[in-house]
Amino acid sequence: MHRTLLSCFLIFLLFSVSKAQLKSPEQFLGYKVGTRYTPHYKIVNYFQHVATQMPSMVKLQPYGETNEGRPLLLAIVASAENLQQVEQLRQNNLRLAGLAKDKMAPVEDKAPAFVWLSYNVHGNETSSSEAAMLTLYELVNPAVTRTKQWLENTVVIMDPCLNPDGRDRYVNWFNSVVGKKYNPLRVAREHREPWPGGRSNHYNFDLNRDWAWQTQTESRQRVKVYNQWMPQVHVDFHEQGINEPYYFAPAAEPLHEVITPWQREFQTSIGKNHAGYFDQNGWLFFTKERFDLLYPSYGDTYPTYNGSIGMTYEQGGIGAALGVIVEEGDTLTLVDRALHHFTTSLSTIEISSLNAGRLVKEFRKFFNEAVSTGFGEHKTYVIRYEARNQERIEKLVQLLDKNGIQYSAGNGVSAKGLNYFTGKEESFVTGSHDIIISALQPRSAMVKVLFEPRTKLNDSITYDITAWALPYVYGLNGWACRDKVAAGGVYTLKPLPAAPETSYAYVIPWNGVKTVKLVGHLLQKGLVLRFAEQPFESNGTRFDRGAVIVLRTSNQKFGNTLWSVVRETAQADGVQLYPVNSGFVDKGFDFGSETVHPFRAPRVVLATGEGVSSLAAGEIWHFFDHELDYPLTLINAADLARANWNEIDVLILPDGNYRFLSAKEEAEAFKSWVQKGGRVVALEGAVGQLAKADLGVKLKKTEETEKKDKAGNYDALRIYENRERESISGFTPGSIWKVSLDNSHPLAFGYPEFYYTLKQDDVLYEFMKDGGWNVGVIKKEGPVAGFVGAGLQPRMKDGLLFGALSLGNGTINLLSDNLLFRNFWENGKLMFCNAVFLSGQ
């Protein structure tokens, strides 16, 4: 009796002490959540406070830092019993997916469900990080019993802010412009954030499009740790336009065909659970609209294709700041927005707890079937190795590794499959350096999604691009095979051979970004380089157009250190050097020919700022910083008029609207600079602006036909409810097209006679005549993959996509499609480099 009383007293004492020490977000911050914006460091501080006060329930796991040095971390929240053995539970969860390194059998019975909540991937969609603090407190607050019941069979993983740099950019700006009281009028400046806005990360990348590609440091670090946990449920919290009601699952069509009946069913269960709370509070919401599950690099699709129930939740609020008057006249506050995300956070954990056993069972089934039967009709994908594509092969292998996809080497067996480049079924023999990717593996769904030649659409109204098959993205041919293809063991990349000695010159083949990086480094070190306009052979080796030559005779200032400098730099950059002992070549033009040109180091400027797409500019900025390691000057487009044009060799104009091209005096200064030898790299919308400037490139006109019958013209008679579907007739959200290339032009050096482009619009240009080179054109072939509206497809023929326009002594390079799309479109990067470094030299 006394012992029982003592135990009760100790429990009461522990409850009282923990409650006294543990602070709510409001107590810790000194204000109610949502009445002020919380900087990232204070969010981190609060999570650290909770972990310190409740160590039996919360464990923090730092997983990296951002470009600007802000910490990235997870909070693992569980019952005291489960947290104590959380590492064993994590390993068991990997065994359920067949991904554990050990061979121990998984335990399904009573295994907890893992629920991962990802907040604030878009920095200016701020309410979810505020909600994260409320959610954490509710889970551990000793006074709340229901959450403790959920945690008995659920482990919750919380990432309070996926994009700290973007969040703080927005929060710091807002705090600098808001007054003593916020202004809810939509026209107030506090609702108009300046360029580039807080949505993206430091390099202006949209991190919610980067889960599969992992081009950004935040994505790489996050996905690495995500794949060490493999949750059964994942939620990505967002905001949308201020007048939109809340969106939650189930998702809209199209849903990719690999999504299982259970994944679809449980999305509906979650939606109904949320709906109960929203109906009770009188909050509007919608489901099954707009936000589909197709493109594989979102925070909902990537987890879904990895066995999870992946979902996006969207709260109205972009630009709402602390409060804004919406179109219905009500004021939407940050308090409201955080409360809504807090409610769906808890509802997700609740319904997951109620279905924990089924979640674990179906999770295991997903991976068992992946290994036994695989997803899709193709059982093997084979990527052909060619020596000139060594760098692209390396990049592809890196992507497979980052996503945990298994692959092997070829072993000379005969097989049959669909050739990606010809589109035909054919027989072939695997080579020892070919990559064999079996669909019968734990990541089978991801394999199918990333490698299928054509993605099937059950609805053509989609939120993003509809084609991304990796062979086209990387420019690597291969086959999709319906049968299993025997593999030859572990795949290993060919090692970089040591450069032999030379007394005369080294040749560097122009075949990838690594080559460009090496050339840039050598130029920055002061070396004098030359490049060949025509192919040649020397010492029995053929070198294609663009090959770079390092001659001793041109670099005598380096003395005896020349070749050691070249070899060490090439080794560091991973590029093979080819020694030659004479300028007298076996075939082609000798090194002293007029077809062998000086390779000059260009001074490159990137236009940024208002009017320029921040995402497009960010892709280029990141590419120069992290892949080329080459100097780049960023100048706001509005300041170009004040720039010293004599200090600019190459001007890059990303997608945007440039006022200086419309201002007569500034446009004349720009044109004069080009005529004197300036080089322009214009991309996407910038090409369209140049076309209006009457410089020699013109937008392709389409023939409009009228359909009339004897009774008159009925085209104007349309069905109102079909208006959205009719609008996509002339639209492509992102499809792949084969482009015919003139690879004798420097803009296409390093390419075969074709290139696969990602087309996101209906824009084509007329073939250029005098002074223009039509380097990349679409002829009469249709799209290779992806959705193209029925009204658009017949018009997409006989037009220019990539070209070079001579203007006096200068060159305007016209790139009407995005060659660096989200920095994962690997095959376009060399052409972009050609435009910057070669075309117009």
Which residue in 494, 409, 404 sits closest to 450, CA to CA? 404
Q: Rounded mean pLDDT of 405-416? A: 97
Which residue in 828, 520, 517 sits closest to 683, CA to CA? 828
Check residue 204 and report its DSSP letter.
Answer: S
Q: Residue type at 722?
A: N
The tens digit of pLDDT for each residue in 428-460 reads 999 999 999 999 999 999 999 999 999 998 877
The tens digit of pLDDT for each residue in 3-15 reads 444 444 444 444 4
> Quick check: 155 pLDDT over 80?
yes
Check residue 66 and report its DSSP letter.
Answer: -
Lowest-pLDDT choice from 17-21, 161-165, 468-472, 547-551: 17-21
Q: Is 164 exposed, middle or buried (0-12, 13-18, 19+ CB in 10 A)?
A: buried
Dist. CA 144–CA 149, nearest whole Å: 10
> Quick check: 116 pLDDT over 50?
yes
Q: Taking a C-beta distance cutoff of 8 angstroms, is the pair 594, 641 a contact? A: no
Strands (E), 53-131: 58-65, 71-77, 113-118
Tell whether omega for the bond before 196 is within 30 degrees of 0, i.e. cis.
yes
The tens digit of pLDDT for each residue in 25-56 reads 999 999 999 999 999 999 999 999 999 999 99
CA distances (Å), 836 to each of 430, 452, 516, 628, in order?
37, 33, 10, 12
The tens digit of pLDDT for each residue in 698-731 reads 998 765 433 434 444 545 666 676 655 566 688 8
pLDDT score for 730 = 81
Dist. CA 685–CA 815, nearest whole Å: 9
Lookup: tokens for 163: 């994009």
Question: Long-range contact list for 189-193, CB < 8 A, 24+ apart?
Answer: 190/321, 191/319, 191/320, 191/321, 191/324, 192/319, 193/124, 193/319
Sign, CA dihedral 718-720-722-727, equals positive
CA distances (Å), 621 to each of 203, 215, 234, 635, 703, in order?
7, 13, 31, 12, 39
pLDDT score for 10 = 40
Q: Name the residue with tokens 């050339």.
A: 519
Q: Taking a C-beta distance cutoff of 8 angstroms, is the pair 182, 190 a contact? A: yes
Q: Rounded mean pLDDT of 626-634? A: 98
Q: Taking a C-beta distance cutoff of 8 angstroms, is the pair 681, 835 a contact? A: yes
Dist. CA 742–CA 649, nearest whole Å: 25
The tens digit of pLDDT for each residue in 593-612 reads 999 999 999 999 999 999 99
Lowest-pLDDT choice from 572-576, 733-737, 790-794: 790-794
Q: Rounded mean pLDDT of 332-361? A: 98
DSSP-assigned states of every residue in 490-542:
---PPPPPPPPP-SSEEEE---SHHHHHHHHHHHHTT--EEEESS-EEETTEE
Q: Taking a C-beta distance cutoff of 8 angstroms, is the pair 508, 496 a contact? A: no
The tens digit of pLDDT for each residue in 644-690 reads 999 999 999 999 999 999 889 999 999 999 999 999 999 999 999 99
pLDDT score for 678 = 98
Rounded to 5 degrees, what are φ and ψ at 240? -130, -165
pTM reported for the whole predicted model: 0.95
> Quick check: 280 pLDDT over 80?
yes
Which residue in 670, 695, 678, 517 sits closest to 604, CA to CA? 678
**What does DSSP say about strands 772-778 and 735-741: parallel, antiparallel, or unpaired?**
antiparallel
Tell whether omega for the bond before 254 is within 30 degrees of 0, i.e. cis.
yes
Lowest-pLDDT choice from 39-43, 719-723, 816-820, 834-838: 719-723
pLDDT score for 721 = 66
Residues in the chain: 841
pLDDT score for 19 = 52
Dist. CA 371–CA 438, nearest whole Å: 10
Lookup: tokens for 747: 């803009």
- Helical (H) or strand (E) element with 13: helix 2-21
The tens digit of pLDDT for each residue in 511-559 reads 999 999 999 999 999 999 999 999 999 999 999 999 999 999 999 999 9
Which alpha helices (DSSP H) does 717-828 contain, by range?
723-727
**Residues in contact with 568: Cβ distance below 8 Å, sequence separation at least 6, in sequence order:** none
Q: Taking a C-beta distance cutoff of 8 angstroms, is the pair 227, 442 a contact? A: no
Average pLDDT taken over every residue of the chain: 94
pLDDT score for 348 = 98
